[in-house]
Amino acid sequence: MKLSSIALTAGLCLLASLSTSCRSMHSYGQVAVADAGLPSHAAVTEALKEVVGESNGGFGLQMWASVVDRSGVVHLVTRSGGDPGDQWPGSRVISAQKANTANAFSLPGLALSTANLFYAVQPGQSLFGLQASNPVDTKAAYRGDAANFGTSADPMHGRRIGGVNVFGGGLALYNSAGELVGALGVSGDSSVADHVIAWKLRDRLGLDFVPAGVSPTGDDNMVIDLTDGVSASGWGHAATTAEATVIVADLPKFHPIGK
């Protein structure tokens, strides 16, 4: 065998080896996504469908859900409806934004939900402008075949979507060892219902061992305390329906952190 043929054969073997290694880490053309203890697409889909079927204080609409790992790479995107058009199409990217936001602004010792950021980013408040700080990668967000949106082959999988979203629906994920492993974002209903659904979904997935937060219960629950547009805590979120406000207040009671 000629030297050039040997080199070519060796090169092809190396490429095959690398390809196998990349597939084992779920590489999808941009970055390799390690599981890092995050839930599977099937597990999140099943849990999401269960939660959407409950009373959540909203319109009872179908939902999108996204999970990112700690580096901000999209681990999965799913939906509760049978077809992509069964949910608000615009909420697919919003769900990934929310996951990115909760991951980006939570720490191993302090969780901030997207709902906790609502008031702080308003004009004149301490985090005004934050929502424009990490723009969405539009190429990652809108690429690919729409028929795959929300499936295990969603084109956002394996890519950093970016984006900052500052209303309810994004929560950091902490495993039973208290490790921050990424975040969850859901979208498709009212902003308060989105938070409720995200909270229940995280609880079902067993990734809610939150170390501390800014809510009165010491976690990352939504704080609905705006009066005449002013939040007493500084971490408040606008209300939607009276039913939703009651459900939010009861979340730590009926879906306690780390239980």
Each domain of the chain, given as residue ranges in start order, spans 1-32, 36-254
pLDDT band, very low/low/confident/very high, at 259 (cuts 50, 70, 90): confident
Q: Residue 32 corresponds to which amino acid?
A: A
pLDDT band, very low/low/confident/very high, at 28 (cuts 50, 70, 90): very low
Smallest Cα–Cα separation from 96: which of 187, 15, 211? Answer: 187
Q: pTM for the full model? A: 0.87
Task: Select from 1.10.540.10, 3.30.450.150, 3.30.450.20, 3.30.110.40 the CATH code of 36-254.
Answer: 3.30.450.150
Q: Which residues pair with 79 in a beta bridge?
A: 64
Tell me the percentage of the chain whose pLDDT exceeds 90: 85
- For residues 10-35, give the mean pLDDT: 38
- Pairing status of strand 230-231 against strand 170-174: unpaired
Flag whether pLDDT at 3 surpasses 80: no
Do 127 and 117 contact (CB within 8 A), yes or no?
A: yes
Flag whether pLDDT at 229 surpasses 50: yes
Give burial (CB, 10 Å; 0-12/13-18/19+) of 106. buried
Tell me the percentage of the chain whose pLDDT exceeds 70: 86
- Which tens digits make up the pLDDT trace of 76-99? 999 999 999 999 999 999 999 999
Flag whether pLDDT at 195 surpasses 50: yes
- For residues 112-130, give the mean pLDDT: 97
pLDDT at 25: 35
Q: At what angle do helices 242-254 and 191-205 cross, to 10 degrees?
A: 20
Residues whose CB is less than 8 angstroms from the CB of residue 125 and which lie 6 or more positions away in sequence, other chains included: 119, 234
- The phi, psi pair for 106, rounded to 5°, reads -115, 155
Q: Measured over all CA atoms, what is the biggest interatomic distance in the chain, rounded to whole angstroms?
A: 83
pLDDT band, very low/low/confident/very high, at 35 (cuts 50, 70, 90): low
Q: Which residues pair with 170 in a beta bridge?
A: 185
State how far the Cα of 191 lies from the Cα of 177, in Å rounded to an integer: 30
- For residues 161-174, give the mean pLDDT: 98
State how far the Cα of 96 lies from the Cα of 229, in Å rounded to an integer: 28
**What is the SS3 assignment for 160?**
strand
Q: Residue 37 corresponds to which amino acid?
A: G
